[in-house]
Amino acid sequence: MSLIPDLFNKALSSFQSGQFDVATTEVIELLGLAPKNADVLHLAALNEKAKLNYKDSERYFRKSLRYSKNQPVVLSNLANLLKIMSKFAEADKLYLDAIVIQPSLREAWLNRGLLAKEMLDWKQAKICLLEALRLKPEPSVFALILQLYLDTNDLEALKRESSIFQKNYPNLVEGYVYQSRGLTKEGDAVAARIVLMEALSTVEQKQRIEYELGLYYYEFGKVTEAERYFSMALETAPHFIDAHRSLNELYFQTGDDRFLESYFDAEKKIPSSEILLHNLAAAQSSSGAIDDGIETLKNAISKFGDTAFLSHGLGALLVRKGELEQALPFFKRALEIDPKNLRFILDRVSLAIKMGDEDTCQGLIDRALAIQPHNQETWAYQGVIWRLQRDERYSWLYDYDVFLKSYDLPVPQGFDSISDFMQELNKYLQTLHVSTKQPLDQSVVDGTQTMGVLLDDPHPLVISFKSSLMQCVDQYLAALPKDSTHPFLCRVADSYAFSGSWSVRLKESGHHSNHVHPLGWLSCCSYISVADLSTSKDGWIKFGETSLKLGENEIVSKDIQPIIGKCVFFPSYFWHGTYPISSDQLRVTIPCDIDPVRYLKRV
């Protein structure tokens, strides 16, 4: 009788140590002895989930529940799986079922709160996260609640609760950071700075407060002060990658000769690290110094071995140099080590398409969609593969007549025309474009981009613009057909919310390189100031042409002339870019991404 417990513990140990194939063999043996054992079936489900075999995992979860219905942990874990599979309504029901059986099951409350947060259902997220915190006070959950208050502009609650966080956890940074951000949103920038300055003498991770001060000053266009605090953060913690990135982004955009010096200074102060050299190579290549990046990665591999990230990084730079055959073994090595890394998978797909080997890509695409079903870059590559294979599903995915629409923005109250309004808005946007060069590793070429989330700006002109834009969003969504099997249409939900938003200003020869928005759903570009582009296609937005440089296999399916006061909507997986402009008049736009809002069942 002790055979099954012994085998179960052995299989559990294999699973917990990441030996999933070994665990599979052991679980199969167990199921031969005890095919209706709910615990064994639960372990089988968890193991298949770890292997990304979601259909098999779901089948084992449901079998476990068939033989023992009242298992709150199994219900909650099945809900976690269904959430990954984008079966949100069923996941929500199962979380609630688990909570009914065991109201004290903190994990179910927490994960339902995270589901609600992902669905942008802030009310349910708040209810569930507060209950999870009550059941087990934990600073990480408390910090999630502070972020929720910030995201929902509940600034009074944020002020109150961040003070409680500081009292309970005086050495942790989150209470001070969120309180400062809330005060900044409230318009009290002085008080926001004071909170951070006082925290410097209190917190354990001083570098994170110094970094936050750098971000604070950068947001207000005070580059000198921002540079000082980013540098201070790196003096405190030379390995602080976020500070390296922000400091060198600042240096690059302002044309400062100290660009990349922080990485070399860090190498003198601390033992060289893989992540430091990987990020140095990324910054080098993003600034155009691809050969320097390759040399950095080769040196890193000689020190640390052909790790997954170093192999992938070197392969990616070789691709940029056009050395596709040389890149292939590095991508293969990265995926051997880390087969679930979405970036590795998508770059391997991209390389296969460039090498004319798209027929082998579908298995990788399927794996990528299992990991992140709504990643827009994955769907963009799926579309390329279908187009090259002349698969009729390409027209279903890229139905330009249905999904690509432009609208005239309504004239805001108090203005005689949309051109009058855009002139005033453009003047304000000029004050936000504080850099002199394009950001690193973005689609902008020969232009500048604002920082932060533009549509959160409380300026009256931005509020009026957002109101006009929302009327156009409403029209666009109302006209969409229904199709629960379509990766864009299936996400139409109860409402929507703006996620990323920014302004781009292109100068002569400026353009956007072809790209997609990987984490979006619906994207939009609004035209604030443009020259008359009716006599040529300079500065027009184009759709369909990829970033893969496929030669005769590239195609521009549609292009649209920018006109002041117009906005253009399209799914975020649509390949898009612009033709370079030849005029010396600046081309000013406000692009944004829009996410669906899905309300969960009320509790």
> Residue by residue, what is the 3-state secondary structure of 292-341?
HHHHHHHHHHHHHCCCHHHHHHHHHHHHHCCCHHHHHHHHHHHHHHCCCC
Domain locations in the chain as residue ranges: 272-338, 345-392, 404-597
Q: Give the domain 272-338 fold.
A: 1.25.40
**Average pLDDT rounded to a whole number, residues 166-177:** 98
**128 Cβ neighbours under 8 A, 6+ residues apart:** 109, 110, 112, 113, 116, 603
Query: H or E element: which one contains 543?
Result: strand 541-543
Nearest of 327, 372, 363 to residue 347 by alpha carbon: 327
CB 598 within 8 A of CB 494: yes
The C-alpha atoms of residue 287 and residue 516 are separated, in whole angstroms, by 20
What is the average pLDDT across 399-417? 97
Task: Name the pTM for this structure.
Answer: 0.90
Please tell me the predicted confidence (pLDDT) of residue 1.
Answer: 46
Dist CA 599 CA 358 (whole Å): 39
Mean pLDDT value across residues 515-527:
95
Dihedral (C-alpha) 197, 200, 201, 204: value to the nearest 10 degrees?
160
Least confident of 163-172, 352-361, 402-411: 352-361
Secondary structure letter of residue 239 according to DSSP:
T
* Residue 5: Cβ-neighbour burial (10 angstroms; 0-12, 13-18, 19+): exposed
Whether the CA torsion 344, 345, 346, 348 is positive or negative: it is: positive
Which of the two residues, 458 and 564, has the higher pLDDT score?
564
* pLDDT tens track for 309-351: 999 999 999 999 999 999 999 999 999 999 999 999 999 999 9
- pLDDT confidence bin for 464, thresholds 50/70/90: very high
pLDDT band at 436 (very low <50, low <70, confident <90, very high): low
Torsion angle of C-alpha atoms 97, 103, 108, 109, degrees rounded to 10: 120
- For residue 499, the 8-state DSSP code is E
**Which residues are CB-neighbours of 393 under 8 A, at least 6 positions away?**
386
Question: How crowded is residue 575: how many other Cβ atoms within 10 Å of its Cβ?
Answer: 23
Class of domain 404-597: mainly beta
Q: What is the pLDDT of residue 535?
A: 82
Alpha-carbon distance values, 506 to 201, 301, 572, 584, 585 (Å) = 43, 39, 21, 10, 9
Burial (CB < 10 A; 0-12, 13-18, 19+), residue 511, is buried
Residue 586 confidence (pLDDT) = 86
- pLDDT (0 to 100) of residue 220: 87
